[in-house]
Amino acid sequence: MRKKACILLILLFVCTVAYSQNTWVQRLNYAYFSAFMHSDSLTGTKCIEVSADGDIYVIGNYGFDDDSRLFKISPTGAPVKWSEGVGHWSGLTGYFTNTVHATSDSGCIITGNIWGQVSCYHVNGDIVKFSKDGVREWSYTFGASCNNPPYYMNEAFDAIENSSGNYYVLAGDTLYEFDTFGNIIRRDSTTKGTKIFELPNGNIIVQTDTGVACKSFGGNTIWSFPSNLLACTPTHLFCGSQGGVSKIDASNGSVIWAKQYLSFITDLDATTDGGFVACRGHQPGSFCSNCNSVLGGLIRVDSLGDTLWSKSYDFPYYGISNVEELNNNIIVGGAFVYTKSLSSSDYQYSSFIASLDSAGNGPLQTTSYIRPGNANNNNIIGFADDALITVLSFGGTGSPRDTINYFPFYFHECCITDYAADWPDTSLTGQNLKHVDYNGDGIIDTNDIVLYSFRWGGNINTEPLRLKNPEINSQSIATIYIQPEIDTVSPGDTIKFYVIAGSQLQPIDTLCGIAFAGSWQWFIHVTDVKSFEWNSDLGTMGVDMYSFNRIIQFGNFESFFLNCRTDSQDVYNIHDTLGYYSVIISDTLTQTDSIYFLLESSNAVKCNGDTIPLNIVSNPVWFNVSVGSGDEIKNQIHVYPNPATELLYISSSKMNVLNSEIKIYNATGNLMLTKITSEKNIEVPIRDLSNGIYFLSVQNSEGVFHKSFAVQH
């Protein structure tokens, strides 16, 4: 049986899902940076055709307007056997492909067109015969020029192999017959059309401007029917439009039955039982004036025109553009969204092809969009949330997906999307594990965590993702905070910053894993930032606990830390130093300065998946880097008592604090109090401040100095 032109996908990767009757879904691994040049250009599969050897030919649009590629794929969803570029766009010239049809030698023949508009718009039809191995055996180009109007008259519309082993070609306003070497044998100037099929008796079915016609080569019309040709078999054909289908007797053109089905039909293939399978969607091509997203649909009809079943699929963005019966399977194709850019009208697409069983069942029913790295599927990408869920899902397995060429952790208003079929299990948060598989290899392990350390091949940027947890005032909420060993150092000194979870008064009651992300202010002359000796009550390193830490520099120093039980056992009453950072200050520093560490986000969970609220305090943490020596520098500013209740006293025996500006910040960085001093010993009333951690800034002609203190009424 023969059908209309078939198109493949874009560069294909195999994503095989085990269903009955060898069902699978896979897509082209190649996605153009921008999927279209104009808003009316769609990507996706254009046609699917079954080869004589049982393989599948597909042509797919994938880029600017007419960019397309021909592929030959195994019916088992194995890797592509070969591919060939069969369309391109380059400004004022290009090449677009209309059809592909299988030939008896397991090869195929395509019709394409070379167009140009340098001095005038013209189209030169082009025929290419491919062997079963993708070798171009011969080609023929029909001439057209500005001196031969109408300029489009030699467009090649369709080409098939006939019963004698030669080839019928519809081009311009003529039907040609070519021999097996690409030479024109004869021509029929009375036959003009866009689709062609040969009946067993040698007559031909042609789609003309006015409908479908049956005629002989060079002879008169035997019968005609005013409709569009959808598919043709040796005994009958299907015609129709706008969802209506008529079954026509091929011998005399009489109507066997006529019925209304889908709201509109994109493609239809005649089935071996005398019925058909049809799909709903949009065909990709150079022009599509009203191509909005549409629900993908399939309908299966028997030989009497009765509906056997119908199915809808949410995943295909433009519905299903092509359908083809292959033994007991149904092969379908379409497009999916690869990214959505800042402009709501600017999408980037790639193509997919899927094999469903004879009832339309298969992976398309559970295939949906995912965002790599968004493990908890909440549309917020963050290390503390998503990396933690990833570790707690270690060992989960499912169907691998093809790895599209995206930049890991490139999440902006423009978010990269991918797709995957459902896995058997869910994460602790109740999301299907397919969302957790960052790299798409079908197993959740340390390789997925590593990807959270990179952005555009470099570093994570946590700041656009989430800035701190919301401030929690309840004293019953456990805390996570940064505690410096000291708060003033000299050039060349080392300072340790401890990360502490819980407290003696309010420990973390039940804990399975904890993660946080933070950043250092980068402008200070820090020669090295290292993490080491992470200690935790969560378990034994390398036995029942996963520990991940990464410090990178990209503008700011950024740190990412994760500790998690991998034996799915909770620990209790946590009040622990999770670890510390060692910061070495440059010994070439020549002026007083300061640095701070901002704890940007944190997350903790129980092994049952419940989230543990944590209050980030002491945020940001400041410390001074002063020019001087030893204890003289470290003891310049005295702040007491600590904790304070009514008054805070500030004094110094080493520096003049007269005419200093005093500022006090709360744990979230809000300015709470400002005072200009006029005495050496300073009293600051703090009775109106709530309990918590605060930061003191003293600035004068000698520099800026920072201290932290607590208020406890």
The 10s digit of each residue's pLDDT in 164-197 is 999 999 998 899 999 999 999 999 999 999 999 9
pLDDT value for 624: 62
Q: How many CB atoms lie within 10 A of CB 33?
A: 8
* Most trustworthy range by pLDDT among 278-282, 502-506, 532-536, 626-630: 278-282
- Segment of 62-66, 122-126, 285-289, 436-440 carrying the highest mean pLDDT: 436-440
Counting DSSP H helices and E strands in the chain, the numbers are 3, 53
Distances 487 to 342, 360, 522, 528, 707 between C-alpha atoms, Å: 44, 67, 17, 18, 7
Q: Where in the chain is the domain with CATH 2.60.40.3580?
A: 635-711
3-class secondary-structure state, position 383: helix
CB atoms inside a 10 Å sphere around CB 81: 15
Confidence at 290, pLDDT banded by 50, 70, 90: low
Sheet harboring 236-241: ordered strands across? 229-232, 236-241, 244-249, 255-260
How many angstroms separate the CA atoms of 92 and 115, rounded? 8
Predicted confidence (pLDDT) per residue in 27-50, tens digit: 765 444 444 434 444 567 888 999
Q: Would you say 142 and 115 are in contact if contact means Cβ atoms under 8 Å apart?
A: no
What's the pLDDT at 286?
A: 44
The amino acid at 659: N
pLDDT at 293: 75
What number of other Cβ atoms are within 10 A of residue 425's Cβ? 14
What is the number of residues in the chain? 713
Residue 623: what pLDDT? 62
Contact 520, 530 (CB under 8 A): no
Q: What is the pLDDT of residue 618?
A: 59
Sheet strand arrangement including 671-676: 671-676, 661-665, 692-700, 703-711
CB distance 450 to 650 below 8 Å: no
Give per-residue pLDDT as tens, 652-710. Answer: 765 666 678 888 987 666 789 998 887 767 889 999 998 877 878 887 777 677 777 88
- What separation in angstroms does the CA of 189 have from each of 170, 223, 322, 633? 10, 18, 32, 99
CA dist 614 and 126 (Å) reads 67
CATH 2.60.40.680 domain extents, the chain: 478-625
pLDDT at 354 over 60: yes
Mean pLDDT of 358-369: 90
More confident residue, 66 or 485: 485
- For the domain made up of 12-365, give the CATH fold: Methylamine Dehydrogenase; Chain H (2.130.10)
* CB-CB contact of 452 with 373 (8 Å): yes
Cα gap 643→648, rounded to integer Å: 9
| Residue 19 in tokens | 């269903």
Confidence of residue 224 (pLDDT cuts 50, 70, 90): very high
Residues of the chain with CATH 2.130.10.10: 12-365
> Which helix (H) or strand (E) element contains residue 631?
helix 630-634
Q: Do residues 575 and 553 touch, judged by C-beta distance below 8 A? A: no
Percent of the chain with pLDDT over 70: 73
Please report, for residues 493, 524, 586, the alpha-carbon distance to residue 528 in angstroms, rounded to integers and kept in the order given.
11, 11, 8
**Reduced to 3 states, what is the DSSP secondary structure of residue 89?**
strand
Interatomic CA distance for residues 349 and 98, integer angstroms:
20
Q: Encode 139-150 in three state secondary structure.
A: EEECCCCCCCCC
CB-hemisphere CA count at 13 Å for 403?
10
pLDDT class of 324 with cuts at 50, 70, 90? very high
**Can you give the pLDDT at residue 601?**
80
Residue 477's Cβ-side half-sphere holds a number of Cα atoms within 13 Å equal to 18
Please determine, for residue 472, whether its predicted confidence score (pLDDT) is greater than 80: no
Rounded to an integer, what distance in angstroms lies between the CA atom of residue 431 and that of residue 187? 62
Nearest residue to 281 via CA among 333, 350, 203, 205: 333
Determine the pLDDT at residue 631.
Answer: 45
pLDDT of 622 above 60: yes
The predicted pLDDT at position 53 comes to 96
Predicted confidence at residue 659, as pLDDT, reads: 77
3-state secondary structure of 242: coil
Percentage above 90 pLDDT, the chain: 34
pLDDT of residue 183: 97
The owner of tokens 């560490």 is: 597
pLDDT attached to residue 492: 72
Of 4-8, 81-85, 130-134, the one with minimum mean pLDDT is 4-8
Following CA atoms 28, 281, 88, 184 in sequence, which dihedral angle do they give, to the nearest 10 degrees? Answer: 110
Q: Report pLDDT for 394.
A: 94
Class of domain 635-711: mainly beta
- Band (pLDDT 50/70/90 cuts) for residue 518 is confident
- Name the pairing type of β-strands 621-625 and 638-640: unpaired
Mean pLDDT, range 128-134, rounded to an integer: 97
d(CA 219, CA 707): 100
pLDDT of residue 408: 36
Q: What is the per-residue pLDDT for 32?
A: 44
Pair 406, 400: CB distance under 8 Å: no
Q: What single-letter DSSP state applies at residue 388?
A: H
With CA atoms as reference, report the closest residue to 355 among 60, 18, 101, 6.
18
What's the rounded Cα separation, in Å, for the pair 334 and 603?
39
Q: Taking Cα atoms as reference points, which of 337, 283, 346 lies closest to residue 38?
A: 346
At 117 the pLDDT is 72
Fold of domain 478-625: Immunoglobulin-like (2.60.40)
Most confidently modeled range among 21-25, 347-351, 387-391, 534-538: 387-391
Task: State pTM to two decimals.
Answer: 0.73
pLDDT for res 707: 76
Residue 632 vs residue 166, higher pLDDT: 166
Q: Mind listing the pLDDT tens digit for each residue in 402-437?
A: 654 433 333 343 456 778 889 999 998 899 999 999
Provide φ and ψ at 102, rounded to 5°.
-75, 150
Region of 295 on the Ramachandran plot (φ > 0 left; ψ -120 to 50 alpha; else beta): beta
220-234, 299-313, 500-514, range with the lowest pLDDT: 500-514
Residues 394, 446: Cα–Cα separation, whole Å: 8
Q: What's the pLDDT at 488?
A: 66
What pLDDT does residue 577 have?
76
Rounded to whole angstroms, the Cα distance separating 142 from 247 reads 35
106 pLDDT more than 50:
yes
Q: Quick one: which of 123, 127, 126 has its CA closest to 146?
A: 123
pLDDT-derived band at 133 (thresholds 50, 70, 90) equals: very high
The mean pLDDT value of the chain amounts to 79
Q: Which of 7-11, 126-130, 447-451, 512-516 has the highest mean pLDDT?
A: 126-130
d(CA 243, CA 259): 9
Tokens of 243: 């969802």
